[in-house]
Amino acid sequence: MATLVVSVAPAVAAAPERITFGNVTCAPSWTPPNPGRDTFLVVNQSTRTATVYLFRADSGRIVSTLTDLKSGSSRRVTVMLSSGPYAWGCDLQGYPRHVSEADKVGNHRQVGGTGPVVVPILVGELVGPLDAYRQYAAAKIGTLVTQVATLQSAVSGSDLGSAESDWLTAHETWLELGQDDGAYGAFGELGRQIDGTAAGLVGGASSPQFTGFHKVELDLWTRDDFADARTNVAQLASLVGSLARLRLSAVLPTTKLGLSNWTLRCHEVLEDALRDSLTGEDDYGSHTDLDSITADVSVTRYLLGLLAPLLNPRAPHLVGAARRQLTYLDDVIAATPDDGVAIAALPQITRERIDAATDAVLETLAPVPDLLRIGTS
């Protein structure tokens, strides 16, 4: 009688989840496992040596750390995870710290990670922060009116040095309202007239529709034309006067749509800076784009502070990480000896550091609109 031999293949362990990161990313779209013992394969896709750590997003307690992970290399890490929110941190030499989104390990071994439940925002919770911003904006606009008048006086006296300095001071104040031509669209066409570029206009910089700060910038730095500058700065003063007469409660309403649009700016201010300033698209001769980004960082930090009480319960790691990254971006810019050098003329490594620092903040702030989504009730 023949003997039946049954060959049983050894159990094959599940492949560990890959945790990847690059110069400006950290564990994008990572999926948390079930509670218990689990193994991850951490892959360094950046150009730098890195330290990577897994931590509890609710307490900050570090669960595991990988040090000296070389570019292009990978390493396995085995950890014991209990239920709760976890996130990854990626520290690259010469780059700001990147932090992944927090996700939740479930309560049951068969459940898996479902992610934390985000409690919808109520309209009333955003009214206070928006009202505080209105007061901030009103003060900035009052300062702007005075600064543009000072600029107009310097231009009238053909004092180029003072005019350029006064232009920069006033322009930074404008940007501290929140960029995008008109502070997240709240000022509409008036905002575009105050700080719009010539992009898309018939005739470009020669178009009569090209007005405001950048038109005066072109007159002072590129054309050295005080005759045109007097006309254009007078128009700028008129536009800023119109801005000061706006009723902020009307252009910044506490409706659901108005509040939702306002919360976008915590992320979009620097997104617009990345598009316009870090490409030099809005440089008409002053080469002050790094100063512009510093102003953008300032208002982003202010907006983040207003929204922090609502963000902290929903994403405990986010505000702290964003503040550290904003400080790092400020530090990188402060260490750059620009001295009136155009963005394109900066050394490549300097541009890469600034771009990477800006990207890192944007990645951290990207979830803010979803975290502050207003509920239907």
Tell me what pLDDT residue 134 has: 95
pLDDT at 11 over 50: no
231-281 per-position pLDDT tens digit = 999 999 999 999 999 999 998 999 998 999 899 889 889 988 888 898 899
Tell me what pLDDT residue 173 has: 96
Lowest mean pLDDT among 30-34, 49-53, 231-235, 291-295: 30-34
Which class in CATH covers the domain with range 17-105?
A: mainly beta
**Identical fold between 17-105 and 123-371:** no
pLDDT at 189 over 70: yes
The CA distances from residue 145 to 85, 105, 142, 179, 236, in Å, are 48, 53, 5, 17, 10
Name the residue ranges covered by the structural domains of the chain.
Answer: 17-105, 123-371
Tell me what pLDDT residue 367 has: 86
pLDDT at 333 over 50: yes
In the predicted model, what is the mean pLDDT of residues 204-213?
95
pTM to 2 decimal places: 0.71
User: Rounded CA gap, 162 and 220, in Å?
Assistant: 11
- Considering the chain, what is the average pLDDT of its residues? 86
The CA distances from residue 132 to 34, 185, 248, 287, 341, in Å, are 43, 19, 12, 33, 37
Residue 338's pLDDT band (cuts 50, 70, 90):
low
Tell me what pLDDT residue 10 has: 38
Which class in CATH covers the domain with range 123-371?
A: mainly alpha
Question: Is 221 in contact with 283 (CB distance < 8 Å)?
Answer: no
